């Protein structure tokens, strides 16, 4: 039976906790046709800027557009790679250095599809989702993050 | 229905405009809107931004009709 997918929320208020990631892995134990998972975790880096050191990033988004776009990206990636599962979580609000702000998880029968799909998802999330990060510096100045 | 549109601003643009949402008279097209915004908010002039109409990014000049939701989007920096 063809599974009908609908847009789902990808946003998490606050950091993505290690427990959530562990639970997400555990949830796949019953899906025994999976042979490989690929996981990307984005972590807040303590970048040194001329105006100070980054201590946190505050994320905001255009939620309705981001969810529509994330759904479109999901559909594209499902059409392109033979995946069993795909999960995307992105943080909103203030995330401190060392905490996780992006969790992308793909699963497939064989590793290559999972790894390539995960890589492509991360690139598309960073380029296409209307999300903005404001870097908070230890000098209490702020500046808008620029994706490279 | 009056010919008005809802404007949403995000990130650095919301900071420069001083609001994250505005209701304005419909300028009729995306390019006219851009010109009006740059006049009204000179702080936007050095900034790069794109627009979305009803949550779809526009690539070229686009007609705007009453009731549509227009968003001003600075470069994305998620992840």
Put simply, whether B74 touches A (Cβ < 8 Å) is yes
Asked whether residue B16 is assigned to any structural domain, the reply reads: yes
pLDDT number for residue A7: 80
Confidence band, pLDDT 50/70/90 cuts, at residue B11: very high
Asked whether residue B79 is assigned to any structural domain, the reply reads: no
Cα-Cα-Cα-Cα dihedral of B30, B31, B34, B35, to 10°?
A: -150
Asked whether residue B74 is assigned to any structural domain, the reply reads: no
Asked whether residue B32 is assigned to any structural domain, the reply reads: yes
Q: Do A132 and B71 touch (CB under 8 A)?
A: no
Contact A57, A136 (CB under 8 A): yes
Structural domain that includes position B49? 4-60
SS3 content of chain A, % helix, strand, coil (to 5): 30, 40, 30
What are the Cα distances from residue A121, in Å, to A39, A124, B29, B35? 11, 5, 33, 35
> Domains in chain A, ordered, with CATH?
11-144 (3.90.1170.40)
Q: Give the closest residue to B74 by CA, choosing from B5, B32, B4, B16.
A: B16
Output the six-digit token pair for A75. Answer: 């559909």
Q: Please name every residue paired with A96 in a beta bridge, in sequence order, or none if there are none.
A: A56
**Mean pLDDT for the stretch of residues A113-132:** 98
Asked whether residue B70 is assigned to any structural domain, the reply reads: no
Give the tens place of pLDDT for each residue, A37-69: 999 999 999 999 999 999 999 999 999 999 999
Asked whether residue B72 is assigned to any structural domain, the reply reads: no
DSSP class of residue A3 equals P
Determine the Cα–Cα distance for residues A80 and B33; give it in Å rounded to an integer: 38
Give the tens place of pLDDT for each residue, B25-75: 999 999 999 999 999 999 999 999 999 999 999 999 999 999 999 999 999
Confidence band, pLDDT 50/70/90 cuts, at residue A148: confident
Determine the Cα–Cα distance for residues A136 and A144; give it in Å rounded to an integer: 9
Three-state SS at A48:
strand
Confidence band, pLDDT 50/70/90 cuts, at residue A109: very high
Q: Which candidate in B52, B68, B74, B79 is best for mutational testing of the A interface (most A CBs within 10 A)?
A: B79
**Mean pLDDT for the stretch of residues A23-27:** 98
Q: Which residues of A touch B (CB under 8 A)?
A: 42, 59-62, 64-65, 68, 90, 101-102, 122, 125-134, 144-147
**Mean pLDDT for the stretch of residues A25-38:** 98
SS3 content of chain B, % helix, strand, coil (to 5): 25, 30, 45
Determine the Cα–Cα distance for residues A124 and A39; give it in Å rounded to an integer: 15
Q: Which of A1-15, A75-89, A125-139 has the lowest mean pLDDT?
A: A1-15
Closest partner CB to A130 (pick from B10, B12, B79): B10
Q: How close does chain A come to B32, measured CA to CA in Å?
A: 23
**Mean pLDDT for the stretch of residues A21-46:** 98
pLDDT number for residue A1: 55
Tally of domains within chain B: 1
Asked whether residue B78 is assigned to any structural domain, the reply reads: no
Asked whether residue B68 is assigned to any structural domain, the reply reads: no
Q: What is the CA radius of gyration of chain B?
A: 12
Q: Do B79 and A59 touch (CB under 8 A)?
A: no
**Mean pLDDT for the stretch of residues A108-133:** 98
Q: Give the closest residue to B20 by CA, choosing from A146, A136, A60.
A: A60
Determine the Cα–Cα distance for residues A85 and A64; give it in Å rounded to an integer: 23
């Amino acid at each position: 039976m063809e599974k009908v997918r609908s847009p789902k929320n990808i946003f998490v208020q606050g950091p993505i906790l290690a427990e959530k990631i562990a639970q997400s892995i555990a949830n796949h134990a019953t899906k025994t046709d999976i042979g490989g998972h690929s996981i990307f975790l984005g972590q807040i880096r303590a970048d040194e800027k001329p105006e100070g050191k980054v201590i946190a990033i505050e994320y905001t988004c255009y939620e309705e557009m981001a969810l529509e776009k994330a759904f479109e990206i999901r559909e594209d990636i499902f059409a392109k790679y033979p995946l069993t599962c795909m999960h995307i979580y992105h943080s909103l609000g203030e995330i401190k250095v060392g905490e996780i702000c992006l969790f992308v998880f793909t699963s497939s029968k064989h590793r290559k599809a999972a790894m390539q799909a995960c890589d492509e998802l991360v690139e598309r999330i960073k380029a296409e989702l209307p999300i903005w990060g404001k870097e908070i510096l230890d000098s209490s100045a702020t500046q808008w993050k620029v994706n490279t | 229905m009056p010919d008005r549109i809802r404007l949403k601003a995000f990130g650095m643009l919301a900071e420069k405009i001083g609001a994250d949402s505005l209701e304005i008279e419909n300028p009729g097209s995306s390019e006219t809107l851009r010109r009006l915004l740059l006049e009204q908010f000179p702080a936007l002039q050095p900034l790069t931004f794109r627009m979305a109409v009803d949550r779809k990014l526009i690539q070229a000049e686009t007609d705007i009709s009453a009731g549509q939701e227009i968003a001003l989007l600075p470069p994305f920096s998620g992840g």
